[in-house]
Amino acid sequence: MNEIFVDVLLPLPLPNLYTYKVDKSDHNKNITKGARVCVQFGRKKLYSALIVNIHNTPPKNYETKTILCLLDEKPVVNEIQLTFWDWISGYYMCTRGEVYKAAVPSGLKLESETSIIYGEKEVTDKLTPLENRVLDLLEKEKTMTIKDISSATGRENMVPCIKSLYEKDYVALEERLKSGFRAKTEKVAFLNEKYSEDSVLHELFDSLERAPKQLKIVMSYLAMVQYPGKQQAPVVKTSDLLKKAGASSSALKALADKEIFYIREKETGRLTVADNTLQAHSVLNTSQKKACKNIVNHFKTRHVVLLHGVTSSGKTEIYIKLIREQLDKGKQVLYLLPEIALTAQIVRRLQSVFGNLVGVYHSKYNDAERVEIWYNLMGKHVAGQARYSIILGVRSSVFLPFDNLGMIIVDEEHENTYKQFDPAPRYHARDAAIMLASLHKAKVLLGTATPSLESYFNAKNDKYGLVELNERFLDLKLPAIQIINIKEARRKKQMKSIFSPQLIDNIENALSNGEQVILFQNRRGFAPYLECRQCGMVPRCRHCDVSLTYHKQHHQLVCHYCGYTLRGPFTCEACGSTDFRMMGFGTEKIEDETSLFFPEAKIARMDLDSTRSRKSYERIISDFENGNTDILIGTQMISKGLDFNNVKVVGILNADNMLNFPDFRSHERAYQLMAQVSGRAGRKKEKGTVIIQTSDPNHYIIKNVLDNDYTAMFNNQLEERKTFSYPPVFRLIRINVKHRQYETVEQGADLLAQKLRSVLGNRVVGPEYPLINRIQNKYIKTLLLKLEKTKSISWAKQQTIEKIAGITSQPEFKSLIIILDVDPM
């Protein structure tokens, strides 16, 4: 029999596949593409690798190792996924290993961990107290991981101590494979089937007269399941049975020992099961029906359709109608959302129509839950759980193992949170979804009230179909927008802290009428920075070139880039003063000030600091929906498609920090954010009111928002992008060069720019220092490649990779970190 070899993909940032030999004892096993195998890579490390190819050809330039074991009888990744990963790797200029690491839940990537084993050698050396403590622990436990030892000793860095014990031969090290996923189980009990006949059952009652607790368990079981009379005894959860009987587990164990009951472990899902009460899908109005018909017609000739509908025009109802059509064809649907905050609200709407066919996938789910969703899509769902036909999720959902995808909906397609920034792959979920759909021969619907320039440009140039929905649902009017000149208000001393008098009046009127208010500021924390009153010094991060943000709740200064923290009281490093003034304001300060002006109002804040867990998102949104919160304060999270019935007033407290950000997309994003957050007002009842506070009321973007004129904003921005060679007319690749040494970054970036210009000419811009030019003690210099859409981007990418490889092969630049970001946001 010929030897069998497999090319495997490792979850490591390596460019190549690696070939391993299949042990002869495994030849008859089901070795399939997409299944996992355990392999040794390097001297000690063990990894779960994915089989990508199976063949009979040994590699020529290295000796093959044998796979340690097969982990799967069936593939955990399908052919379309592997093809999709190849595209992600090629387009976004990263390795396939990086894609594998990002795409698959950690619970499916078995990892090795070092175990410390007690050596039982007589101690003859003088040991430190810590070394003695570790040996005492190991003598008792025999085997512990480094993490276990750190936890037991209360010391974080135990590596030097363990290294010392290892060198003295008092401990041994062992590398073991650790599985990240265990199926969730529960104990269930069921009656021995011989008691299904009444006569035998009565005999059992008589035999248990002297064991009243055991008899109570039997009687409680019969009451719960209405048995006998069925062919097979039903199972019940042991916890439910014992609770009903008021008995202890020892009584149940006694029944199991007598073989009256059997106790088993039953796998249960971690995933939430929807209420089985389904609602009928609401009837579309005339505009929605027309839009739906146009979308279907466009899909006959186009792969992608852009649905441009004003806020509260009923886009979600159109999505539901189209989802129903796909399910009727037996197809799967992926519904992408830009923000986890949105899933809490929309999942209820979808589950009310489609029930348990809806699955949710995002990073706030723990890893075991994500593995269960992965298995569910592969048909490995637990008993009693439906196989999902609809997945509602954020950007990482594009990597799930779909096998019959019919449509992808990208809701709020303009959002920059669809872009993965770090680590690689730095993909854009909208663009990746379009490629994924093409592999499945599926359709893509992009929906938004404020399209990205790229999508609208493609629609206007007939690459995408375009359907517009210009009326709000139930003919509700768009909110009335007031522009408040806070520069003038401050000059006239009319401002009350951060509030204009007009905003105060509108909030008071809304609250007195039992209506709700949203206050928007796209900056978290209490104050963006502190300034010393004596010398003007601003506290800065030690590791990043950025000022520290003040968080009042914990009385600390925090770097939002690396997490560096200073706890109060604060002292000026320049002059020793403790007198600081707070500059600017974030959501935390707005919450503080709002509670002073409106002490009777119930106030909530929704930003990164207040939504660390999945349940915190759901709680904040649910409380606001149910009227338990009067005023909701938040960052851009609250602008993304949330649907509230009773919001009368929306206040945008500072439009200027959005308009004046040094980025070519800042005006587009400012329009989108202001238009979107304005759209939260007056969605179900009477016309809402939006107050925009700005120091520049004549700015053209402010006027575009006031007139709800997306087209004017698009045309103006498109002309600027053409003039300065930016997307959607040109493609961008950003190259960040990083190093701890300033001189190394300077020299490396300059040399790279010189090499790239030799082949790409004036398409290379820079190198320049970005706005924040040091993060986590690494200096950064940036180059931009501006590439015409009419030219082959593949050639430019290949040249870029070759030039980077040439530089990093030089000894002085070997430690340079060079990061490629295709289509940066």
Model confidence pLDDT, tens digit, residues 626-651: 888 899 888 877 766 566 778 888 89
User: Where residue 178 falls among pLDDT bands split at 50, 70, 90?
Assistant: low
Taking only the tens place, the pLDDT of each residue in 204-257 is: 888 888 888 998 998 888 888 876 555 567 888 888 899 888 888 888 988 988
Considering only residues 527 and 399, tell me which one the structure prediction assigns the higher pLDDT.
Answer: 399
CA distances from 736 to 62, 94, 746, 760, 766 (A): 34, 14, 12, 17, 11
pLDDT band at 733 (very low <50, low <70, confident <90, very high): very high
**Digit-coded pLDDT (tens) for 75-97:** 999 999 999 999 999 999 999 99
pLDDT of residue 687 exceeding 70, the answer is yes
Residue 127 pLDDT level (bands cut at 50, 70, 90): confident
Q: Which CATH superfamily is domain 730-822 in?
A: Ribosomal protein S10 (3.30.70.600)
pLDDT of residue 267: 63
The two tokens of residue 220 are: 């409680």
Of 121-135, 724-738, 775-789, least confident by mean pLDDT is: 121-135
Q: Kindly report the CA angle at 386 between 380 and 390, in degrees rounded to 5? A: 100
Residue 5 has pLDDT above 60, yes or no: yes
Q: How far is CA 81 from the centre of its chain?
A: 19
Domain 286-473, architecture per CATH: 3-Layer(aba) Sandwich (3.40)
pLDDT score, position 87: 96
pLDDT band at 464 (very low <50, low <70, confident <90, very high): very high
Helix (H, G, I), strand (E, B) or coil at 392: strand
| Burial class of residue 717, CB neighbours in 10 A (0-12, 13-18, 19+) | buried
**What pLDDT, on the 0 to 100 scale, is given for residue 59?**
84
The DSSP bridge partners found for residue 111 are 47, 178
> Of 190, 186, 183, which Cα lies nearest the Cα of 263?
190
Return all residues near 73 (Cβ < 8 A) that are at least 6 apart. 29, 30, 35
CATH number of 111-178: 1.10.10
The pair of structure tokens assigned to 84 is 């999709």
pLDDT for position 609 = 72
pLDDT exceeds 90 at position 447: yes
The mean pLDDT value for 646-675 works out to 86
Mean pLDDT of 493-502: 89
pLDDT of res. 228: 56
pLDDT at 410: 96
Q: How confident is the model at residue 174 (pLDDT cuts 50, 70, 90)?
A: low
pLDDT(387) > 90: no
pLDDT at 2 (0 to 100): 76
- pTM score, two decimals? 0.79
Using pLDDT thresholds of 50, 70 and 90, give the confidence band for residue 111.
Answer: low
| CATH number of the structural domain 5-108 | 3.40.1440.60
Residue 280 has pLDDT above 60, yes or no: no
CATH superfamily for 480-522+597-719 is: P-loop containing nucleotide triphosphate hydrolases (3.40.50.300)
Q: Which of 111, 179, 174 is nearest to 146 (CA)?
A: 174
617-626: pLDDT as tens digits: 778 877 888 8
* Backbone dihedral region for residue 106 (phi beyond 0: left; psi -120 to 50: alpha; all else: beta): alpha
Cα angle for residues 217, 220, 225 (degrees, 5° grid): 125
Identify which of 18-27, 269-278, 639-648 has the greatest average pLDDT.
Answer: 18-27
| pLDDT score, position 175 | 55
Tell me the pLDDT tens digit for each residue of 689-703.
888 899 888 999 999
Phi, psi of 743 (to 5 degrees): -65, -35
Helices in 426-484 by DSSP H: which ranges? Answer: 429-440, 453-460
| pLDDT at 642 (0 to 100) | 66
Nearest alpha-carbon partner for 690 in 710, 705, 701? 705
The residue whose two tokens read 């179909």 is 465
Question: Looking at the predicted structure, is the pLDDT value of residue 681 above 70?
Answer: yes
Task: Report the mean per-residue pLDDT for the chain.
Answer: 84
pLDDT at 27: 66
**Burial zone of 386 (CB within 10 Å; 0-12 exposed, 13-18 middle, 19+ buried):** middle
- Asked if domains 111-178 and 480-522+597-719 share a fold, the reply is no
Write the burial class of residue 718 (CB in 10 Å: 0-12 exposed, 13-18 middle, 19+ buried): middle
pLDDT at position 821, please? 93
Q: Which two tokens stand for residue 81?
A: 């996924």
Given a cut of 70, whether residue 200 has pLDDT beyond it is: yes
Q: Rounded to whole angstroms, what are the CA distances from 198 to 193, 194, 224, 225, 606?
A: 12, 10, 17, 15, 61
- At 208 the pLDDT is 87
Q: How many helices (H) and strands (E) does the chain have?
A: 25, 34
Percent of the chain with pLDDT over 70: 90
Q: Domain spans of the chain?
A: 5-108, 111-178, 185-267, 286-473, 480-522+597-719, 527-584, 730-822
